[in-house]
Amino acid sequence: MTLGRFGDAVRLAVGTLTTVPVPAPRVIDPRVAGTAMVLGPLAAVPLAVVAGVIVAVGDALGLPALAVAALALGAVALGSRGLHLDGLADTADGLGASYDRTKALDVMRRGDSGPTGVATLMFTLLVQVGAMTGAIAAGHGVVAVVIAVLVGRCTLSMSCARGVPSARPEGLGATVAGSVPVLVAVVTGVVAAALAGLAPGLNWWRGPVAVALGYAAAAVLLARCVRRLGGMTGDVLGAGVEVAVAGALLALAV
């Protein structure tokens, strides 16, 4: 990949996954899109840092762990425009709407949230905040939120791996579907687990378990969507990020 194309991938990753203002990519093709998805965790580093600082400051000030957890995760949501939360709600509405693929995709496209989407969103946020509260109380809240935020974005490469089809012929899902070589997706997960194993303040195995649980949650959701919808969409990508964050935080809750 040329330096110019790599720059396009960086701009696509940062512009799509965060609110950091960057110029629009000049070219978006499958290779640029795939590289952007692999770079997702790096693009989310500012979000992880902000969340970690909020937890550290809140802990130092003696604020209630529940409030600190909500503030940290709320900052991440704001820093990503609520994109992944919106995807989670839309995906839940689509899966709960009908067994008819076309109708389910139409419900997801509308953008408004129905009862299934709202309930799923609230449940997932409760799990995230509750698990984060436990991690803060256990003394490793900063490490937990950093790992969880980055692991959630690591799963993007898995969801965009070759062999995973797009449910629609257009949209973000169609742009990134199958754009990441399987080997690259696997290496991304292995590297994430290895780095998590070096996280300070945790037993060496806690970080890799958090990565594994986050990936497992996203993989189960992805498999369900491929069976029901015929593939993945941009909403499914966002939903995978959120359930991966919840899974990783659960592994680090105590």
Cα–Cα distances in Å, from 61 out to 57, 66, 75, 145, 234?
6, 14, 18, 18, 39
Q: What is the pLDDT of residues 141-198, one digit of tens each?
A: 999 999 999 999 999 999 999 999 998 888 778 889 999 999 999 999 999 999 999 9
Closest CA relative to residue 18, chosen from 92, 75, 88, 89: 75
109 pLDDT band (50/70/90 cuts)? confident
Sequence-separated (6 or more) residues with CB below 8 Å from residue 153: 17, 40, 41, 43, 44, 241
Tell me the C-alpha distance between 249 and 130, whole Å.
Answer: 9
Tokens found for residue 146: 């950093």
Tell me the C-alpha distance between 130 and 110, whole Å.
Answer: 31
Are the beta carbons of 134 and 123 closer than 8 angstroms? Answer: no
Cα–Cα distances in Å, from 148 out to 105, 107, 127, 132, 145?
29, 29, 13, 10, 5
Residue 115 CA, distance from chain mean position: 22
Question: Mean per-residue pLDDT for 3-14?
Answer: 86
Tokens found for residue 73: 């995760």
Question: Mean per-residue pLDDT for 95-114?
Answer: 82
Q: What is the pLDDT of residues 199-244, one digit of tens each?
A: 999 999 999 999 999 999 999 999 999 999 999 999 999 999 999 9
DSSP 2: -
Tokens found for residue 211: 């990565």
Global pTM value: 0.95
DSSP 114: -
